[in-house]
Amino acid sequence: MWTLYHFALCPFSRKTRLALSEKDVSFDPVTVQPWDAPDEFYQLNPAGRTPVLHDAARRITLVDSQAICEYMEETVDRSPLVLGSAAQRAEIRRLVALFDQIFFADVTHPLLHEKMKKRLILRTAPDSTLLRSAMRLAHEHLDYIDWLVGNRRWLAGNQLSLADFAAAAQISVVDYLGGVDWNGHEEAQAWYRVMKSRPSFGPLLADKMEGLPPPRHYADVNS
């Protein structure tokens, strides 16, 4: 049985949870806070980053959301998420990297730092200039999602893929932190509503962090 060490507001943990659930891979979730994780977690991943997937009986430890998702693609036939021709798979991987790296650096990470870390750990006020800059960049990324879903059925093409889950995972964290303004992004919003309605999304929408409640609309699949 797999154990997934994850953090509720970690977009990479969320992407992994979505992919495992879509592929119907069962796991025991263990919540860790990267800044206050138990020794057993550091023994599995000395870098101290979530997510980590571990199977004690088989002595397998997988670290890094993309490594975990690719491992599942290679070992589980059900519900392929990196699919199609080599060119289509390359497009899926391009978009996964875009959301994992650029969206995270531009939007999710600054919001997590300003709104979560400063409030719960550092006990200081958020920097409004940094928040404004992250929100402006969020609009640019949502413009690109508008374009993608205006020109394709799903983000990477005709098929639902890991690109959709990587993007929705990032957006769900930003939405939890009150950082998504859908104004002018009706196409992206309609796509996100569909993602949010999938059964795999249910546990993510139920997540709550003590001392940092989500806005009321966060778990509403119609908004």
Ligand X SMILES: N[C@@H](CCC(=O)N[C@@H](CS)C(=O)NCC(=O)O)C(=O)O
Q: Quick check: 38 binds ligand X (CB under 6 A)?
A: no
Closer to ligand X at the Cβ: 149 or 166?
166
Closer to ligand X at the Cβ: 7 or 176?
7
Determine the straight-line distance between the first and last CA of the chain, rounded to whole angstroms: 36
Q: In this structure, are residues 54 and 29 in contact, taking their beta carbons and an 8 Å threshold? A: no
Other C-beta atoms within 10 Å of 81: how many?
23
Please list every residue from 99 through 138 that binds ligand X, using CB under 6 A.
Answer: 100
- Which 3 state secondary structure label does DSSP give 157? strand
| C-alpha pair distances (Å), 64 with each of 5, 61, 151 | 11, 10, 31
Which of 38, 42, 48, 132 binds ligand X (CB under 6 A)? It is 48
Q: Quick check: 41 binds ligand X (CB under 6 A)?
A: no
Closer to ligand X at the Cβ: 64 or 164?
64
Look at residues 97, 103, 101, 90 and name the one whose alpha carbon lies nearest to residue 144.
103
Strand order in the sheet with 52-55: 27-31, 2-6, 52-55, 60-63
Shortest reach from residue 41's CB to ligand X, in Å = 10
Which of 10, 98, 107, 145 binds ligand X (CB under 6 A)? It is 10
Please list every residue from 59 through 78 that binds ligand X, using CB under 6 A.
Answer: 64-66
What is the identity of the amino acid at 195?
M
Shortest reach from residue 184's CB to ligand X, in Å = 28
Which of 29, 33, 34, 187 binds ligand X (CB under 6 A)? It is 34
Closer to ligand X at the Cβ: 49 or 115?
49
Q: Quick check: 12 binds ligand X (CB under 6 A)?
A: yes
Q: Quick check: 50 binds ligand X (CB under 6 A)?
A: yes
Q: Quick check: 2 binds ligand X (CB under 6 A)?
A: no
Q: Are strands 27-31 and 2-6 parallel, antiparallel or unpaired?
A: parallel
Q: Are strands 52-55 and 2-6 parallel, antiparallel or unpaired?
A: antiparallel
Provide the binding-site residues for ligand X, judged by CB under 6 A: 7, 10-12, 34, 48-51, 64-66, 100
